[in-house]
Structure 1
């Protein structure tokens, strides 16, 4: 049976989560998280994906994005997830699933929900005990805003 079509309303904000297959730590190496970040930046450039926040952990990702047009979110996630999986599987000479099922998308309901999503994403690695402050986690939106990099500007600041 085919999967149900996902419909994203233009102008709406969505909290996206995507977990690695079997909760494996496939994003544990810095180079794998960096690769995912590069594809996120590519999706932003190619599809005009509006990125409000993100964090990349060792076994899952969080994105807070705004649907800006026709299938921007699905096209972007297809590019990011597929490219990340292909690069990892090729490097490891591996076959099989990289991601656990489909990504999960939740529409942000109001400003309170938006603030809770921002805090949840920013504090993910603090709650996990990996860092003491969100600015210390290199692969997240909070770090980018507090310590801007010259190479990538992923977060939409407007």
Structure 2
């Protein structure tokens, strides 16, 4: 992932005449329980370039999952659509496409453009049983981790510690300067 993310960042910066960091953080993997939370995570990921101010809609980003779900990207695909149908309990790709478009449209209307830390910092996201099973599977590495609720999901991760005053800053979308 480090090689891929580095090359993507370099290519984009070169093409746009930019310098500096392209990605906000290093690659991070989390276990996500199948079902509605996985669907929400996929939608969140497809909105990354929208949050970054690079595109206005995920359909404009040629390298995302949106392109794979809608079949417009055929080379170098990452998603296993048959597997995705199974874990999201859809019977056909056309049904997935219809619902996925609704998820994206709803998220574009309701999200405020901020990062959701439970997708970007946690070890696992899911139901209480899924989180306990994941924690047990991690053995000694999972024991010191905390389980906490974040909206409708439960999360396995490190509790956020505040080491200084809270100045009230929020993450905001990174927009490219157009001049």
Common fold, TM-score beyond 0.5? no
Larger RCO: Structure 1 or Structure 2 (Cα < 8 Å, ≥ 6 residues apart)? 1
Higher normalized strand content (fraction of residues): 1
Highest CA radius of gyration, 1 or 2? 2
When the two structures are superposed, what TM-score results if normalisation uses the length of structure 1? 0.33
